[in-house]
A and B are shown apart, each in its own frame.
Chain A
Amino acid sequence: MAVCTVHTTQSLNPTCSISKPSSFFGHSPRQLVVLASPGGNSSTIPKRKGGVLKVTCSSGDTIVIGLAADSGCGKSTFMRRLTSVFGGAAEPPKGGNPDSNTLISDTTTVICLDDYHSLDRTGRKEKGVTALDPRANDFDLMYEQVKAIKEGKAVDKPIYNHVTGLLDPPELIKPPKILVIEGLHPMFDPRVRELLDFSIYLDISNEVKFAWKIQRDMAERGHSLESIKASIEARKPDFDAYIDPQKQYADAVIEVLPTQLIPDDNEGKVLRVRLIMKEGVQYFKPVYLFDEGSTISWVPCGRKLTCSYPGIKFAYSPDSYFGHEVSVLEMDGQFDRLDELIYVESHLSNISTKFYGEITQQMLKHSDFPGSNNGTGLFQTIVGLKIRDLFEQITEAKAGASLQAAKA
């Protein structure tokens, strides 16, 4: 998407560099052909012999999204849904370090914040700190590099290898349209927080975390219910001290809890998911049900829609979260059929879809992903659409500002 407009050479944005076009691996260059005329009317394109310059304008139109999650990087499901909303599939950089944590699509680059570990596995063992501890992470470098990418400069980012536990040689990251920084500490450092255009915190309750880790690990040789429990317990103090407090800064929190529809359910299969959306965030209008700002309780299953057990229940209300005004949309239960999904979608407002049924289409596209039949998939998809909307608004605002500057 072209943000740069036609300028005279004097007003050309100083961070644009003039270069010969070359092929960049895994990433299409964003280039704009600019016909520059000294002192000419900027709205006409003058004839000029040999006056075609190729200007690479990655002049700070990157938006940065922070995603806090305690589940490793390449949080594939959320990332896949997000990049899918923008179109294209996110893949590891081709031909580089096979243990890279980075994902790149046409529009989006996803960076794993573990790459900013200042201590590798051995180093952490020596110092007696977990990966959750800020002392194991280089926030200066994180800030420096995210800032640089945001300003349109490529950076050599370190790679933390999760297999070997070592820090590998860096990989080149070119500024994308959308940069997602994902990991344990995207909102920990205030300077990095300032760079985020939007931030999300994935808040998994202890019971659900335990159920998910059981599903993840029970079949591994070496693991047992006790070891899984012990691992969660041992990480809890650092998690509570360093990771959990970040949620007060998030623009959107996706809270995952056990269902209230099935008494004494401990399998963690049916989920109650809450999308907590901060009010007053620029370019972000919270999703609502029926009547913005009111309190709604909605069971869509009834005469028009038949659902199977345990059904679906929605709630929407204004609330307060760490002193901020928020709107909370909540879904408990599971989707079973296509018509349930479309029915629900048709009753939600401010969902930033481009056409009727877009949410349903996105959910169907990834029906093999975990969470596709419940609130996690639904809200992740909605957040993806919100981010797309945010991106388009910011881009439009910047283009408007450039035009103003050019006219001045």
Chain B
Amino acid sequence: MSSIAPSAALAFPSRGGRRRDASLIPCAVVKYKGTQMRVQRLSEMIEKKVIEAQEVCAGSGADSHECRVAWDEVEEVSQAKADLRLKLEVENRDPLESFCRENPDTDECRVYDD
């Protein structure tokens, strides 16, 4: 720590400083087909479940159980997508790396070609 000038500016991330396109995941990090499949699947599910929730709530009412469950599903998949994105950004490698080392012959572990 003594080698850092005390007045050095800290490179803290600007939280939400610029809106990042959540659908663009660093390509260098998505190595296996399984990861690309998960990214795509979660994106599609978000879109689908938002529409579903809007329809269900319009039909059954905003206070109905069905409406709450529908939006809860949206939350679940949105968080899952965000977790995956965070994993890719922070760890800077494909999360399937260790799994694919043990199971290189599965469909999920085919190397993804953009």
Contacts and interface: CB of A to CB of B under 8 A. Distances in A.
Contact of A370 (B1, B13, B57, B80): B13
A145 to B, nearest CB: 23
Given A94-B98, A162-B76, A338 B71 contact: no
A382 to B, nearest CB: 18
A218 B12 contact: no
A220 B81 contact: yes
Q: Which 6 A-B pairs have the closest CB atoms?
A: A222-B47, A234-B71, A128-B65, A219-B22, A72-B79, A373-B12
A367 B53 contact: no
Interface in A206-223: 211, 213-223
A6 to B, nearest CB: 39
Contact of A230 (B6, B8, B57): B57
A261 interface: no
Contacts of A131: 72, 76
Interface of A: 71-74, 76, 91-92, 94-96, 98, 121, 124-125, 128-132, 162-163, 165, 211, 213-223, 227, 230-231, 233-235, 237-238, 267-269, 334-339, 341-342, 357, 360-361, 364, 367-373
22 contacts: A128-B69, A129-B65, A165-B73, A213-B78, A214-B16, A217-B46, A218-B19, A219-B20, A222-B43, A222-B51, A227-B50, A230-B53, A235-B68, A235-B72, A267-B16, A337-B6, A337-B9, A338-B4, A360-B1, A367-B12, A368-B11, A373-B12
Interface residues on B, range: 35 or more
B57 A234 contact: yes
A338 to B, nearest CB: 6
Given A130-B72, A162-B79, A235-B72, 14 more contacts: A74-B87, A95-B101, A98-B99, A215-B16, A216-B82, A217-B78, A222-B46, A231-B53, A231-B71, A234-B57, A235-B75, A339-B6, A367-B12, A372-B13
Contacts of B80: 72, 162-163
B43 A221 contact: yes
Interface of B: 1, 4, 6-17, 19-23, 34, 38, 41-43, 46-51, 53-54, 57, 62, 65-83, 86-87, 90, 95-96, 98-99, 101-103, 108
A139 to B, nearest CB: 19
Given A128-B65, A220-B22, A361-B1, A367 B10 contact: yes
Contacts of A129: 65, 69
Contacts of A364: 1, 10
Contact of B71 (A128, A221, A230): A230
Contacts of B42: 163
Nearest to A226: B54
Contact of A234 (B34, B72, B103): B72
A221 B81 CA distance: 12
